[in-house]
Amino acid sequence: MARRQRVLGWEARLLVILTAVLVVFGLASVYAASSALVERGRAVGATRVLDQLIGAAAGGLLLLLAARVNLDRVRQLAWPMVLLTGALLVVLVLPFSYAIAPRINGARRWLNVGVSIQVSEIAKLAVVVWTAMLCAKKGTEVRRMRRGLLPVLTVVAPLAALILLQPDLSTAVVIGFLALLILFASGARIGHFILLGMAALPLLWRQIEGAQYRVLRMTTFLDPGADRLRDAYQIDQSLIGIGAGQLFGVGFGQGQQKLGFLPYPYTDFIFSTIGEEWGFLGVLFLMMLFSAYVLVALRLAAAAGDPFRQYLGVGLAAMIGVDAFLHMGVGLAIVPTTGLVLPFVSYGRSGLAIALIATGFLVNLGTRRRPVTA
Amino acid sequence: MPRLPSRITVIAVGFGVAALAILARAAHVQLLQGGQWRQRAAAQQTVRVALPARRGTLYDRNGVALALSRETFGVGVAPREVEDVARTVSLLARAVGRPRAALAAGLRAGRVWIEWPGPYTWSTVAPLKHLRGVYLRRRLERFYPRPDLAPRIVGRLDARGRGGSGLERAFDSILAGRSGTAVMLRDSRGQTYPSPSRPAAEPVDGADVVLSLDAELQEIAEGALGAAVAGTRAAGGDVVILQPATGEVLALAGVRRAGPVGAGGSVVGDPFEPGSTAKVFTAAALLRVAKASPHDTVYAERGRYTLGGRVIEDVHGSGYLSLGDVIRLSSNIGIAKLGARLTPAEQYAALRDFGFGTPTGVDLAGEASGRLRAPRGWTRESPASLAMGYEFSVTPLQLAAAYAVFATGGLLLEPTLVREVRGGDGSVRWRHRVRPVRRVVTSSVASQLAHMLRGAVEEGTGRLAALGTYPLAGKTGTARRNIGGRYVAGHYTASFVGLFPAVDPQLVVVVKIDDPAGDYFGGATAAPVTRTILEAALATPTVTLDRSRLTRRWLPEETSAPQPQRRSEVPVVVAWPPRTGGSGGAGGLDPGEPAAPRPVPPVTGLDVREAARALHRSGFRVKVEGWGSAAATAPAAGAAPPPGSTVIVYGELGRAG
């Protein structure tokens, strides 16, 4: 292979900086949200943040790798990735695999093979890569139902269904949404989406009705304060935390909501902790970081050289953006309570690693390779 | 592919809109509603925890704790949280005193919580402090080391830990201290954490109250009274023992067979008609307005006398009696006749001056004032009735305070139950100072009366109170009980008031027996109780008695009561320099007595009481300010103010205020 000189465009550099700031901010936030807690009779102290630091280090290596890898190779690996992900997701729902896929907090999301891996995070990336690959391959054919929408659905829907079985409604929805967004970016007809939406509504509705707690989740969203059962309680506590932050926040580490009032204060509701401790200024800062990230990523996508890279860029930008905005929306009670983490920030090594890989791929998009020879 | 950038723009715009929506919502929640959310946060995150203040201790005058607050601990175990089971079991076994096997089985039984309420002391449970799964619950517990000792006087706490009765209630504001508050952080399970950043009011421990009660004397009094009430099958009885020089109450005992007792205890809440014990007050009234002298005689009609259509009888009929004899023999006829010399205003004023009809101001809730009608409410029979101790009612404490007048040289002192209030750090916050209410009689009249009272014990009705060792002054009383507005035959209140010793009395003892069966005379029922109490007190070395002064008992026998006919003679008390051994007469000097000016003796360094006595002996009235040993006098030693003028003795302590 010929030696090539890598030149990072300003977007890629900015993206790296944004990522670094987010990760550091995330580490601080995880520390603030977790250190004062006592779990299973032990003080958490720095254990969570150290775990996360390991995740950040590993993710940093993956970022470098993703930034250097030839994206065409990645495209070629799309099918194996998606199949492997599917296999792993199957393991999570098998009845006899509890030894490596334990039920935690009512759901089987983690695969315990030496390290604990949250498979749905990998599934997100795999689906983005695969859908980008497929849309790039189909070209203008995505405008045709049978060539565009349906093939995507036939692969993504089973994956989403497997994730739904964990159960993890929100990630399933996000995965579907990401695939559709890439489809949309690739030029699929708007009419198809409308059709799909109308078709999906009863399906989705039945799904939501299926599980009791999801019903509650939905009614909670429609009428918070109606009861204090779990999710309404969670939303209420999240708002108390964020609201109490006011403009300047109660101060780093001074938040009280994490002391048992707020569930999952360093994962699903870390935004609430941040809002409490840093106030509206912190929220604004965080929103600016994520908005900048998404816009820069989309800009990279638009400027990418080939359709796969474009779609990949859009998918990755959306993967970070959708998760981040949904997470914030949950914390502010404008979106039903879901179990989504805040990319780069929330505790969770799988999520952090995947987000860093996404940054890596995006940096990859923004890297011009000037062959030294030829 | 012209569409792509535009579709990416659409996506970008979509994200932008979402971002703005989220920011708008955040601004709404944090900036507009922020105050409300912060209030809710504070409401659920913080809790004001009352930090209990240690309640002060009630001591008797000698430092014996009567009621004290102890810090005790209960032990709770959450077996599921226990990590080191073997160690926990062994430490628990030692602390709560259970066999290890049983404890281990208990921990394994799958229970969520096991509790041993204790109470355990800190030293017992201290080893458990840092064990995981073991929780110590601190409590402040009121503890009465001698629960049988004056429970009604000492009182008890109510369910909220405030003083519910007795002195616990009377001094609640002093004893209770001030609870502090801490703002604790609270998590969702209600567990609290200290919050160093938030202000907390430190609790202020309650002050200790040193009572004037003498626990030993109290116990003696209660024992003697209980035995007497039981022995005479009486309905009840009261005992008050008072230190006349200071007004300090040394013992308060009240027994009732049945029925409710006033809130302040029967001793201050339950007035009775004193009967003959009150005759001495009429004698005092006569002497102080000089309408009689101790040797004025009256014909006692041989025991039966009709006054205004009303028959007055004496138990032992007599002929001519002096005033002293009237008191000594408790002649109703004699006191009625002599009392008739007084105008109603004089008689009334004397009884008022002795403190009847007015609460004494002692620190007990529910003190009764007793009943004493003003002359306009009197009937024709009232003067005689009052002279004999009827038609007015007194509490035992009032009676004791009034008799103390004869021991203080004529001053009525406010009785007190408190000697000192000490802060939590041991500093003295307040100290009782002798609080004279008024001068009731001159000191010479007082000593004359004391002399008469001594006669009553040695030769009169109170013989059964007499001790073999020391002279006692006193007066018996037997009053028909007024039940439902009528005096009922067969129901009596027997009483005895003693001054001990007869010379320079250190104790005033009031014993009252309600409705004794059998021999109902005060001389037969109440007087022996007094003797029993005094004998026991003398046998108990810790009882508040100045034994050095007791040994001087016989010295002033001849001079103890300066007789009026000796007025012109040079009193012994002018001997100069005064012999501190104390051969001076106890009587002091009548202010009206013609005598040459004499110098104020040097008393600096003496105890203020000694100093006051020395000054009394020199014929001065004394006002004491402060406590401890005398630091100075005004006028200073060596000055020669007119006799009978007041010399102020400044104690080295507690002069402020």
SS (H, E, C) B336-404: HHHHCCCCHHHHHHHHHHCCCCCCCCCCCCCCCCCEECCHHHCCCCHHHHHHCCCCEEECHHHHHHHHH
Residue B21 lies in a domain: no
- Torsion angles phi and psi, residue A8, rounded to 5: -85, 125
CB contact under 8 A, A187 and B3: yes
pLDDT of residue B194: 60
Q: How far apart are CA B23 and CA A284, in angstroms?
A: 7
* Alpha-carbon span A211 to A337, nearest angstrom: 14
- B566 domain-assigned: no
Best CA proximity match to B273, nearest among B173, B372, B390, B386: B390
Nearest CA in chain B to A184: B7
Q: B378: domain CATH number?
A: 3.40.710.10
The pLDDT score that the predictor gives to residue A35 is 79
Please tell me which of the candidates A184, A284, A332 has its beta carbon nearest to residue B29.
Answer: A332
**Average pLDDT, stretch B299-310?**
82
**Option in A240, A259, A261 nearest B37 (CB):** A240
Looking at residues B414-443, what average pLDDT do you find? Answer: 86
pLDDT digits (tens, 9 = 90+) for B234-290: 888 889 999 998 889 998 888 887 654 544 456 777 888 888 888 889 999 999 888
What's the whole-number mean pLDDT along residues B566-587?
A: 33
Q: What are the backbone dihedrals phi and psi of residue B79, each rounded to the nearest 5 degrees, phi first?
A: -55, -30
Please check the confidence at residue B12 and state whether its pLDDT lies above 50.
yes
Q: Over the stretch B106-150, which tens digit does the pLDDT of each residue have?
A: 777 777 778 887 778 888 888 877 777 788 777 778 888 888 787
Which residue would you say has higher pLDDT here, B270 or B376?
A: B376
Report, as ranges of residue numbers, the positions in chain A whose pLDDT lies below 70: 1-4, 38, 40-42, 201-231, 371-374
Considering the domain boundaries, does residue B579 fall inside one? no
Q: Which helix (H) or strand (E) holds B236?
A: strand B236-243
pLDDT given at position A60: 93
> A232 to each of A216, A240, A258, A330, B155, how far by Cα in Å?
8, 12, 17, 11, 53
Say how far residue A17 (Cα) sits from the centre of its chain.
Answer: 19
| Residue B29 placed within a domain | no
How confident is the model over B224-231, as a mean pLDDT? 87
Note whether B49 and B184 are within 8 A (CB).
yes
Q: How far apart are CA A194 and CA B96, in angstroms?
A: 74
Q: Could you tell me if B188 lies within 8 Å of chain A, comparing CB atoms? A: yes
Token representation of residue A275? 């809002």
Q: Is residue B291 domain-shared with residue B386, that is, in the same domain?
A: yes
The whole-angstrom distance between residue B324's C-alpha and the CA centroid of its chain comes to: 33
Q: Chain A: give the shortest CA distance to residue B191, in Å.
A: 10
Say whether both B496 and B370 belong to one domain: yes
Q: Same domain for B228 and B369? A: yes
pLDDT digits (tens, 9 = 90+) for A47-97: 888 989 999 999 999 999 999 888 888 889 999 999 999 998 888 888 877
The whole-number average pLDDT for the span B151-160 is 81
Same domain, B242 and B318: yes
Helix (H) or strand (E) holding B647: strand B646-653
| pLDDT recorded at residue A193 | 76
Average pLDDT, chain A: 83
Residue type for A193, please? F
What does the angle CA A169 – CA A167 – CA A223 come to, to the nearest 5 degrees? 50
Residue B100 lies inside a defined structural domain of this protein = yes
pLDDT tens, B21-52? 999 999 998 998 888 888 888 887 777 777 77
Buried residues in B538-569 as b, exposed as e (16+ CB within 10 A): beeeebbbeeebbeeeebbeebbbbeeeeeee
Interface test with A, best of B3, B28, B29, B134 (most A CBs within 10 A): B29
Nearest-CA distance from A255 to chain B in Å?
10
**Percent above pLDDT 90 for chain B:** 7
The number of beta carbons lying within 10 Å of the beta carbon of residue A225 is 11
Higher pLDDT, A133 or B570: A133
Domains held by chain B: number: 3
Backbone angles phi, psi at B654, to 5 degrees: 60, 35
- Strands laid side by side in the B192-193 sheet: B46-51, B180-186, B192-193
Q: What is the CATH number of the domain that holds B599?
A: 3.30.10.20
Instruction: Search chain B and give the residue with CA nearest A292.
Output: B16
Contact B571/B556 with Cβ under 8 angstroms?
no
| Mean pLDDT value of segment B82-108 | 80
B11 to A332: CB separation less than 8 angstroms, yes or no? no
Tell me the β-bridge partners of B180.
B51
Q: Which of B151, B166, B198 is the last residue of a domain?
A: B198
Residue pLDDT, tens place only, B345-359: 999 999 999 999 888
Task: Residue A75: name the closest of A303, A297, A309, A299 by CA.
Answer: A309
Q: How far apart are CA B128 and CA B95, in angstroms?
A: 8
> Could you say which of A239, A280, A325 has the minimum Cβ distance to residue B31?
A280
- Backbone angle region of B190, left / alpha / beta, with phi > 0 → left and psi within -120 to 50 → alpha: left
Nearest to B592 by CA among B339, B296, B287: B287
Same domain membership, residue B129 and residue B54: yes
3 state DSSP class of B648 = strand
B221 lies in some domain: yes
Helix (H, G, I), strand (E, B) or coil at B222: helix
* Residues B302, B158 within the same domain: no
Nearest CA in chain B to A180: B11
pLDDT value at B643 more than 50: yes
Strand runs labelled E in chain A: 4-8, 38-39, 42-43, 110-113, 115-118, 367-371
Q: Which whole-number Å values give the CA distances from A174 to A132, B135, B381, in the listed order?
A: 16, 47, 108
Averaged pLDDT score across all residues of chain B: 78
Whether residue B26 lies inside any domain: the answer is no
Asked if the Cβ–Cβ distance from B23 to A260 is below 8 Å, we say no
Q: Tell me, what's the pLDDT at A84?
A: 92
Residue B12 to residue A294, Cβ atoms within 8 A: yes
pLDDT at A59: 93
Verify whether the Cβ–Cβ distance A185 to B22 is below 8 Å: no
Residues of B (220-239) whose Cβ lies below 8 Å from A? none
A325 close to B15: Cβ distance less than 8 angstroms: yes
B453-500 pLDDT, tens digit each: 888 877 767 777 777 677 888 888 888 887 777 777 778 888 889 888
| Strand B46-51 with A38-39, pairing | unpaired
Of the two residues B182 and B70, the one the predictor is more confident about is: B70
- In a domain, residue B504? The reply is yes
B160 touches chain A (CB under 8 A): no
- Which one of B11, B33, B81 has the shortest CB-CB distance to A185? B11
**Predicted local distance difference test score (pLDDT) of residue A279:** 92
Q: Which of B527, B545, B563 is the last residue of a domain?
A: B545
Structural domain harbouring B593? 586-653
pLDDT, position B193: 64
Residues B294 and B424 placed together within one structural domain of the fold: yes
Question: Residue A79: enclosing H or E segment and its boundaries?
Answer: helix A78-93
* Position B572 pLDDT exceeds 50: no
Same domain, yes or no, for B478 and B540?
yes
Q: Which residue has the tokens 């040459």?
A: B596
pLDDT of residue B195: 59
Q: Per the CB < 8 Å rule, is A246 touching B38? A: yes
Please report the pLDDT score of residue B585 as a whole number. 35
Q: What is the CATH number of the domain that holds B174?
A: 3.90.1310.10
Residues of A in contact with B26 (CB under 8 A): 242, 275, 280, 283-284, 287, 328, 332
* Cβ <8 Å between A334 and B8: no
What is the pLDDT confidence band of residue B590, given thresholds at 50, 70 and 90?
very low
Q: Which carries the bigger pLDDT value, residue B552 or residue B18?
A: B18
Q: In this structure, are B232 and B371 located in the same domain?
A: yes
Average pLDDT over residues B559-569: 38
Is residue A374 within 8 Å of A23, Cβ to Cβ? no
Judge: A334–B25 Cβ closer than 8 Å, yes or no: yes
Q: Is the pLDDT of residue B374 over 80?
A: yes
- Which of A202-209's residues contact partners 24+ apart within 8 Å by CB, and which partners? A204/A173, A207/A164, A207/A169, A208/A169
Residue B47, chain A, CB below 8 Å: the answer is no
Q: Are residues B353 and B487 in the same domain?
A: yes
**One domain for residues B226 and B156:** no
Q: What is the pLDDT of residue B650?
A: 80
Q: Kindly report each contact of residues A156-164 with a partner whose C-beta sits within 8 Å and lies 24 or more positions away, as own/partner.
A: A156/A127, A156/A131, A158/A86, A159/A82, A159/A85, A159/A86, A159/A89, A159/A123, A159/A126, A159/A127, A162/A86, A162/A89, A162/A90, A162/A92, A162/A93, A163/A89, A163/A120, A163/A123, A164/A207
- pLDDT classification of B437: cutoffs 50, 70, 90: confident
pLDDT band (50, 70, 90) for residue B598:
low
B19 neighbourhood in chain A, CB within 8 Å: 287, 290-291, 325
Among partner residues B31, B81, B187, which is closest to A247 by beta-carbon distance? B31
B194 and B220, same domain (yes or no): no
Chain A positions in Cβ-Cβ contact with residue B134 (cut-off 8 Å): none
From chain A, which residues contact B within 8 Å (Cβ)?
Answer: 41, 181, 184-187, 239-247, 256-257, 259-261, 275-276, 279-280, 283-284, 287, 290-291, 294-295, 298, 301-302, 307, 310, 314, 317-318, 321, 325, 328-329, 332, 334
Identify the closest residue of chain A to B27 by CA–CA distance. A280
